[in-house]
């Protein structure tokens, strides 16, 4: 199921294009992810752990294009990638109505409404998708901005995984959240 591109005006007045990722985006997506990983304390992967090759990135993008219950969106400003969101649909038949949400953006674009715009675009697509019924995500318990965003978008807390994250000897819980796309 395709996604119709959208132009979104952010709080800073800038117009951002949100569109489905394509194979030719692989180099720009790789560069963007490497850039935001170092400035994202709430993504459980470091730049040194991110070793995706261009061929692997191509395959990753293609997996979203091939799966009818999955979506990979990118946000662009003046032809520069500034953020992304993905809905990774479960491949198992009895769970294919569920998708996991992942999102990231460059630090200079945070607190401008980009996260809300990406999340709303993904949720709207999910609601119109005939397969998807539920979205799930995990968020660091200390990521108050993220939790507020997800709650604003309708996600509800469904559980906690204690001490899931450990960095420099400090533990942090993971909060699991869910959104029903096909509410009564």
The more confidently predicted of residues 140 and 38 is 140
Q: Residue 1 domain-assigned?
A: no
As given in the structure block, the two tokens for residue 18 are 């949100």
- Work out the angle at residue 121's Cα, subtended by the Cα atoms of residues 117 and 125, and round it to the nearest 5 degrees: 170
Instruction: Read off the pLDDT of residues 48-90 as tens digits, 9 standing for 90 and up.
Output: 778 888 899 999 999 999 999 999 999 999 999 999 999 999 9
Q: Residue 170 domain-assigned?
A: no
Report the CATH number that the domain containing residue 27 is assigned in CATH.
Answer: 3.40.630.30
Q: Residue 19 domain-assigned?
A: yes
Instruction: Read off the pLDDT of residues 148-160 as tens digits, 9 standing for 90 and up.
Output: 999 999 999 999 9
> pTM score > 0.85 for this model?
yes
The alpha-helical segments, DSSP class H, found in the chain are 26-37, 54-66, 114-128, 144-152
Q: Residue 153 domain-assigned?
A: no
**Total number of domains in the chain:** 1
- For residue 75, give its domain range: 6-137
Please state, for a pLDDT cut of 70, what percent of the chain lies above it.
99
pLDDT attached to residue 103? 96
């Amino acid at each position: 199921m395709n996604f119709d591109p959208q132009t979104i005006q952010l709080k800073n007045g800038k117009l951002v294009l949100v569109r489905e990722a394509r194979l030719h985006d692989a180099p720009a997506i790789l560069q963007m992810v490497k850039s935001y990983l170092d400035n994202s304390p709430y993504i459980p992967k470091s730049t040194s752990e991110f070793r995706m090759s261009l061929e692997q990135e191509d395959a990753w993008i293609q997996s979203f294009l091939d799966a009818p219950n999955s979506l990979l969106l990118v946000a662009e400003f003046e032809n520069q990638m500034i953020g992304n969101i993905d809905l990774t649909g479960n491949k198992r038949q009895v769970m294919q109505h569920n998708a996991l949400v992942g999102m990231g953006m460059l630090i200079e674009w945070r607190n401008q409404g980009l996260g809300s715009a990406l999340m709303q675009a993904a949720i709207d697509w999910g609601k119109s998708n005939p397969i998807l019924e539920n979205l799930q995500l995990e968020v660091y318990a200390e990521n108050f901005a993220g939790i507020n965003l997800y709650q604003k978008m309708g996600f509800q807390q469904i559980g906690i995984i204690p001490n899931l994250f450990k960095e420099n000897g400090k533990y942090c819980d993971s909060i699991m959240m869910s959104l029903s796309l096909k509410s009564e």
